[in-house]
């Protein structure tokens, strides 16, 4: 099946990045959100990121204009149903995702492939609640989407080979690399990455090191480009906690127990960069550790 039109549900950090890369790869994109303000911010951010690519010589001004013209922002989810491929990129909340797919169902074309950008939730379970589990897959982009090269492709138990091969082709056209993952909690990247972050938080919680010393140790001792606390703040501490809970609930292993300190930060609303405070305080000129 040839994919020409793409619907992206959710215009937040992931959704606007997904819309960006599809538009620059020649797809017609419909970007949906319940909030017009969120859509306006997303379009402004996409334009700013395209300008950055132009300034670095990665796009021409004409290519930027063409990409922007391919994105249509809408609060009407019915307009998403007629696309060839739908990518749900809402908050990492299973109940919310089910509600989105239910509201979309009456508007879907028979040929439409449904996907979720979930970073941890069961694809089989999401697919089973739709009318097309054979045409449903996990399509997990990494953040920031325009920069990161990997896309995890996750088949549910009912996903057809045709659906998988179609999305493999889409990833290739985007100029990214696909990694096939089985449908187990958190898939590949987050199954390894988020428990590492959680362990760093336990290391802080137990007084083994400070935020600064732990981040420095991982950057200089393990050659990581970002320390675990810098990365957690970038991802969002609420997202880290949600993934740890999926791992803990889905695998029933105590090694995936979320650190109580992570829970406290989320309860405080200190979610990282997006709220200006997490393991670092971003309200000044330079980030300052909060512990």
pLDDT at position 92, please? 87
Which residue positions form the known binding site for NAD(+)?
10-15, 33, 92, 97, 119, 143, 274
Q: Among residues 182, 211, 240, which one ends one of the domains?
A: 182
47 and 162 both lie in a single domain: yes
Share of the chain above pLDDT 90, in %: 97
pLDDT at position 104, please? 96
Alpha-carbon span 89 to 143, nearest angstrom: 12
Is 119 catalytic? The answer is: yes
DSSP 17-72: HHHHHHHHTT-EEEEE-S-HHHHHHHHHHHHHHHHHHHHTTSS-HHHHHHHHHTEE
Q: Among residues 182, 201, 234, which one ends one of the domains?
A: 182
Selecting among 119, 120, 122, 198, the annotated active-site residue is: 119
Contacts of 11 (CB under 8 A, 6+ apart): 19, 31, 32, 33, 35, 38, 39, 41, 42, 73
Assess contact for 122 and 148: CB atoms under 8 A. Answer: no
Alpha-carbon span 178 to 157, nearest angstrom: 19
Q: Give the β-pairing of 280-281 and 288-289.
A: antiparallel
169 and 244 both lie in a single domain: no
Residue-wise pLDDT tens digits, 170-183: 999 999 999 999 99
Angle between helices 228-235 and 237-251 (to 10 degrees): 90
Task: Tell me the two tokens of residue 119.
Answer: 């970073």
126 and 254 both lie in a single domain: no
pLDDT at position 33, please? 96
Domains identified in the chain, total number: 2
Q: Is the pLDDT of residue 1 over 90?
A: no
Mean pLDDT across the stretch 95-108? 96
pLDDT at position 230, please? 98
175 and 202 both lie in a single domain: no
Q: Among residues 156, 182, 208, which one ends one of the domains?
A: 182
Alpha-carbon span 238 to 91, nearest angstrom: 10
Q: Is the pLDDT of residue 68 over 90?
A: yes
Is 140 catalytic? The answer is: yes
Mean pLDDT across the stretch 42-47? 97
109 and 23 both lie in a single domain: yes
92 and 204 both lie in a single domain: no
Share of the chain above pLDDT 70, in %: 100
Contacts of 133 (CB under 8 A, 6+ apart): 124, 127, 156, 157, 158, 159
65 and 141 both lie in a single domain: yes
Residue 24: what are its φ and ψ, rounded to 5°? Answer: -70, -15
Q: What is the pTM of this model?
A: 0.89
CATH number at residue 253: 1.10.1040.10
Mean pLDDT across the stretch 265-288? 97
Is 152 catalytic? The answer is: yes
Residue-wise pLDDT tens digits, 134-159: 999 999 999 999 999 999 999 999 99
Alpha-carbon span 279 to 260, nearest angstrom: 14
121 and 211 both lie in a single domain: no
Kindly provide the residue ranges of all beta strands, DSSP E only, lying in 110-196, ordered along the sequence: 113-116, 136-141, 150-155, 177-181
C-alpha dist (Å) from residue 134 to 139, 174, 266? 14, 23, 36
Q: What is the DSSP code (8-state) at residue 93?
A: -
User: What is the pLDDT confidence band of residue 25, given thresholds at 50, 70 and 90?
Assistant: very high
Selecting among 49, 190, 198, 230, the annotated active-site residue is: 190
User: What is the pLDDT confidence band of residue 77, given thresholds at 50, 70 and 90?
Assistant: very high
172 and 219 both lie in a single domain: no
Alpha-carbon span 268 to 266, nearest angstrom: 5
What is the b/e burial string over 201-232, where b = at least 16 CB atoms within 10 angstroms of the residue's CB? bbbbeeeeeebeebbebbeeeeeeeebbbbbb
Is 69 catalytic? The answer is: no
Mean pLDDT across the stretch 245-249? 95
Alpha-carbon span 86 to 82, nearest angstrom: 9
| Residue appearing with tokens 């791992």 | 247
Residue-wise pLDDT tens digits, 121-131: 999 999 999 99
Alpha-carbon span 287 to 34, nearest angstrom: 32
Which residue positions form the known binding site?
10-15, 33, 92, 97, 119, 143, 274
Selecting among 116, 122, 152, 198, the annotated active-site residue is: 152
Q: Is the pLDDT of residue 89 over 90?
A: yes
Assess contact for 158 and 124: CB atoms under 8 A. Answer: yes
User: What is the pLDDT confidence band of residue 3, given thresholds at 50, 70 and 90?
Assistant: very high
175 and 199 both lie in a single domain: no
Which residues lie across from 8 on neighbouring strands? Answer: 31, 87
13 and 147 both lie in a single domain: yes
CATH number at residue 170: 3.40.50.720
162 and 199 both lie in a single domain: no
Q: Which domain holds residue 64?
A: 5-182
Residue-wise pLDDT tens digits, 188-228: 999 999 999 999 999 999 999 999 999 999 999 999 999 99
């Amino acid at each position: 099946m040839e994919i020409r039109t793409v619907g992206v549900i959710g215009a937040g950090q992931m959704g606007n990045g997904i819309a960006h890369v599809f538009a620059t790869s020649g797809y017609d994109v419909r970007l949906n959100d319940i909030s017009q303000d969120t859509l306006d911010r997303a379009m402004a951010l996409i334009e700013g990121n395209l300008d950055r690519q132009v300034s670095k010589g990665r796009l021409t001004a004409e290519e930027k204009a063409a990409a922007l013209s391919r994105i249509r922002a809408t609060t009407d989810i019915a307009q998403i149903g007629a696309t060839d491929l739908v990518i749900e990129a809402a908050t990492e909340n299973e109940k919310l995702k089910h509600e989105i797919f239910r509201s979309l169902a009456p508007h879907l074309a028979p040929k439409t492939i449904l996907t979720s950008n979930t970073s941890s939730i069961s694809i089989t379970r999401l697919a089973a609640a739709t009318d097309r589990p054979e045409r449903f897959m996990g399509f997990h982009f990494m953040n920031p989407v325009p920069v990161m090269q990997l896309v995890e492709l996750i088949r549910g138990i009912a996903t057809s080979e045709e659906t998988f091969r179609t999305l493999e082709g889409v990833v290739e056209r985007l100029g990214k690399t696909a990694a096939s993952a089985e449908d187990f909690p958190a898939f590949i990247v987050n199954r390894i990455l988020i428990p590492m972050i959680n362990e760093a938080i336990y290391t802080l919680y137990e007084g083994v090191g400070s935020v600064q010393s732990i981040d420095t140790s991982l950057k200089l001792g393990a050659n990581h480009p970002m320390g675990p606390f810098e990365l957690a703040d970038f991802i969002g501490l609420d997202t880290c906690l949600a993934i740890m809970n999926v791992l803990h609930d889905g695998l029933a292993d105590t090694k995936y127990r979320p650190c109580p300190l992570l829970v406290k930060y989320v309860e405080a609303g200190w979610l990282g960069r997006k709220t200006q405070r997490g393991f670092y305080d971003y309200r000044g000129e330079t980030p300052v550790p909060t512990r």
